[in-house]
Amino acid sequence: MSPEQTGPPERTGPSKRTGRVQTVLGLIDPQELGVTMHHEHALIDQGCYFEMPDEATERWYIGRPFTMEMRGNIGNHWAWNRDTHTLLNEKAQTEEVYKLFLAGGNSMVDTTSIGIGRDPLALTRISRATGLNIVMGGSFYVPPSYPDDMADRTEQQLTDGIIRDVTVGVGETGVKTGIIGEVGNAWPTNETTRRILRASAQASTETGAPILIHPGFDVDSPLHIMADLIDAGADPTRVVMAHQDVFSDVNLVRKVAETGAMIEYDHFGFENTQWGGLGRPGIGIPTDVQRMQRLEQLIAWGYGDRLLVSHDICIKPWLTSHGGKGYAHVLESIVPRMRRRGFSESDIQAILVDNPRRILTFK
């Protein structure tokens, strides 16, 4: 059994967490959350996505530091450059994250889960340095990042480990997760991934923590995941379905919302056409205008109380220091544009404050 699963988890119903939000610095009143970016990564290592290119001339990308010279073509080559995948410099990342605070942000959810460099103590330092409330994620990311012994872990062992992170803390740090996720999925799915979903659902039921899902990038994935979670006993209103930006048909997103799940548009600022459709029908990278149009449609359908937004900063090209929009883009650019488009103040308040507060409050 791995370190993140050692020690007895606390198994109780209502607890001191009920009605509170659990940050890396401890429990807070939900009213303290304020403006919240619901899906970010302060520090992360996505080396699991590295691919060795076949062509000799393309292998010059592998070990080079990411530079602005590379930025224009990185959409075609991001999986070949190791530096692109990592946000490891704590000082530099603290400065980047602090821009969210300066723009009027109060909180962020760091959804770096097991397998991609989750760093509880560093998150406590970044929280103190920036003044931001940081909620840390848990459970496991996508299959390429799984621990080597994942196939041998039982569903109960997985459940116990996730519960322990919420109730006792990660390893020996004492720093506790406040959300179960992002729970990674791929498509087609497999039994190991579904076992993790069931364990995450059980852990949510036992602790009162919300769940955040990274779906497989296929139109069949989100509803399949919701069915698995509900079958495992999860409350669908405690589930956040992330990365809904990539699903071109807003009617599919509406079907996810109809299950009771929260809907997250979390790639604001990412508009690079080189990334294309990720190789699957119905999947694409929209513009920020299209994201706002889809939010407008969902609000018109009556789902304004289900919407969350963020940037999912997780690679160097998305940092302001490397030519990206950074962690403050929604507040500095998107919110003013939303007002010009006719979003009401109550709509904006719901998306930035009320909805994050509701989902992050333990039941």
Percent of the chain with pLDDT over 70: 94
Please check the confidence at residue 3 and state whether its pLDDT lies above 50.
no
> What is the chain's mean pLDDT, rounded?
94
Tell me the two tokens of residue 300: 């018109």
Which distant-in-sequence residues (6+ apart) come within 8 Å of 253 by Cβ?
244, 247, 263, 294, 298
The residues pairing with 114 across neighbouring beta strands, listed in sequence order, are 140
Please check the confidence at residue 2 and state whether its pLDDT lies above 70.
no
Q: In the prediction, which pLDDT does 267 show?
A: 97
- Separation between Cα atoms, residue 28 and residue 133, nearest integer Å: 9
Please check the confidence at residue 183 and state whether its pLDDT lies above 80.
yes
Q: In the prediction, which pLDDT does 279 show?
A: 63
- Between 88-92, 154-158, 269-273, 321-325, the lowest mean confidence (pLDDT) is in 269-273
Please check the confidence at residue 290 and state whether its pLDDT lies above 60.
yes
Percent of the chain with pLDDT over 90: 88
Please state, as a whole number, how many other Cβ atoms lie within 10 Å of the Cβ of residue 216.
23
In tens, the pLDDT along 22-47 reads 999 999 999 999 999 999 999 999 99
Tell me the two tokens of residue 244: 């809904």
In tens, the pLDDT along 254-277 reads 999 999 999 999 999 999 776 654
Q: In the prediction, which pLDDT does 280 show?
A: 77
In tens, the pLDDT along 43-70 reads 999 999 999 999 999 898 899 999 988 8
Sorted by where each begins, the domain ranges of the chain are 38-45+89-360
Bridge-based pairing state of the strands 133-136 and 180-184? unpaired
Second CATH level (architecture) for the domain 38-45+89-360? Alpha-Beta Barrel (3.20)
Tell me the two tokens of residue 187: 């498509």
Q: In the prediction, which pLDDT does 272 show?
A: 76
In tens, the pLDDT along 100-133 reads 999 999 999 999 999 999 999 999 999 999 999 9
Please state, as a whole number, how many other Cβ atoms lie within 10 Å of the Cβ of residue 209.
30
Phi and psi (nearest 5°) for 305? -85, 10
| Local confidence band at 281 (pLDDT 50, 70, 90 cut-offs) | confident
| Local confidence band at 7 (pLDDT 50, 70, 90 cut-offs) | low
Q: In the prediction, which pLDDT does 38 show?
A: 98
pTM of the model: 0.95
- Separation between Cα atoms, residue 207 and residue 233, nearest integer Å: 13
- Separation between Cα atoms, residue 283 and residue 248, nearest integer Å: 6
Across the range 272-297, mean pLDDT stands at 84
| Local confidence band at 9 (pLDDT 50, 70, 90 cut-offs) | low
Residue 347's nearest CA partner among 312, 310, 307 is 307
